[in-house]
Homo-oligomer: A and B are copies of this chain.
Amino acid sequence: MRHEGNMLIAQGGGPTVVINQSLVGAVKEAMKYPQINKVYGALRGVAGLVNEEFVDLTQETEQNLEHVADMPAAALSSTRDKPDEQYCRDIFEVLKAYNVRSFYYIGGNDSSDTLHIVKQYAQQEGYDLRAVHIPKTIDNDLVCNDHTPGFGSAAKFVAQAFMGANLDNKSLPGVYIGVVMGRHAGFLTAASAAGKQYPDDGPHLIYLPERVFDVDSYIEDVKRVYERYGRCVIAVSEGVKDSDGNPMVTSLVDNVEKDAHGNVQLSGTGVLGDLLARVVRERLNIKRVRSDTFGYLQRSFWGCISDVDRKEAREVGEKAVQFAMANNQDGSVVINRAGDYAVDYQFVGLEEVAGKTKYMPEEFINKEGNDVTEEFLKYVKPLLGSEWLRTYRLQAPMVSQNASK
């Protein structure tokens, strides 16, 4: 940083259970640099920034910072605002007024975009400003990154949910559908397979937004699995679409309710699961069909944290400050897989990450589009952390049935 001044940090978009690790990593690292005077935290992301709602993070005890690091959800609060040009201009004016010389935004690709535009205003005015993006998203859809902070813990939640749901379904057989977050990228839904161990373990079918969801194929798939195992566990991404790219909720209403009067609510969170359950019930005449929509627990459930994810989330915060200070550069911290399993961190230009979406690569999805591959499992398992659980079953032999004959 060429100019002595203040630093500002904010959190944007949907929170994760490790987003405060990144916050605390950056704040504690920043306090080591004498040219940084104050470390401000903007409340509610860019929304609080333009309203000048800042807290002075240099007046936090180290004890409390470390406790807050372990809390799910954004400690500074977040926002869904996606700034347009004027909004970015307003952000820049506030930064200037507070002599902010480095601006760190923890968020997805929208945050990177915002930083990119704010930086352009700074350049136009010759104002020395470091604009730094710290990645975060449970969707794992940021380009340039092997994976993103927040994904590992959410993936662990989804995997553990399906491990339990699989055993529950084995106890009381039927069809179970779990609807997982992910509107465009299927990584989180795919993670449902990470806990599979025995050949008959579910989820037996996995549907991702990267493939067209065809109702007839779905019904055929469920029929085949159900005939084989007497039960079927299904993971579906909330973002699955039909061949025209329309969300399946719309499509299913046509399919299931041909005489509908249009009164089915399309926007409710439980609707997709309910409709997917109903089509199985009606077409396959299976009685016990249940659906769960995992919802916000996936990103906020207390106490389900991947230790690998926690460590990396902390490190991207620290590295963000180190990269910016050491090289006097703007950019986005990215996670690179450097071994099996090891990572290193790199710093790329903001424009490389901004506004782009990463999808599941071809080799992670099976040919039929209803499951993941071994390659995906190899990719995802290290991200779930070291505290991993194994399934055990009774091994006792059957008793011969001669007694009552």
Contact = CB atoms under 8 A, between A and B. Distances in A.
A167 interface: yes
Contact of A261 (B72, B261, B293): B261
Given A293-B293, A404-B52, A72 B394 contact: no
A277 B296 CA distance: 15
Greatest chain B CB density within 10 A among A54, A270, A292, A296 is at: A270
A256 B221 CA distance: 37
Given A67-B392, A396-B60, A271 B270 contact: yes
B391 A55 contact: no
Contact of A277 (B268, B273, B299, B399): B268
A360 interface: no
Interface stretch (A92-100, A208-216, A308-316, A350-358): A92-100
B291 A53 contact: no
A304 interface: yes
Contacts of A56: 396-399
A231 B171 CA distance: 40
Interface string A165-187: 10110111100100000000000
A74 B294 CA distance: 22
A401 interface: yes
Interface string A49-84: 000111111011100100110111111111110000
Contacts of A342: none
B263 A55 contact: no
Greatest chain B CB density within 10 A among A11, A70, A264, A304 is at: A304
A272 to B, nearest CB: 9
Interface stretch (A120-128, A156-164, A318-326): A156-164
Nearest to A160: B302
Contact of A55 (B40, B41, B173, B396): B396
A203 interface: no
Interface in A2-50: 11, 14-15, 17, 38, 40-41
B64 A168 contact: no
Nearest to A11: B171
B274 A168 contact: no
A255 to B, nearest CB: 14
B257 A93 contact: no
Contact of A292 (B72, B261, B269): B269
A171 B78 contact: yes
Contacts of A270: 268-271, 273-274, 291, 293
A54 B399 contact: yes
A291 B269 contact: yes
Contacts of A173: 77
Contact of A167 (B300, B390, B392): B300
A246 interface: no
Contacts of A338: none
A160 B303 contact: yes
A301 interface: yes
A265 B264 contact: yes
A343 interface: no
Contacts of A160: 301-303
Contacts of A290: 269, 295-296
Contacts of A278: 265, 268
A303 B269 CA distance: 25
A268 B273 contact: yes
Given A172-B80, A393-B68, A398-B53, A301 B164 contact: yes
Contacts of A98: 399, 403-404
B261 A264 contact: no
10 contacts: A15-B167, A57-B396, A64-B392, A168-B296, A168-B300, A265-B274, A268-B270, A268-B277, A269-B277, A270-B270
Nearest 3 pairs between A and B by C-beta?
A: A270-B270, A268-B274, A97-B404
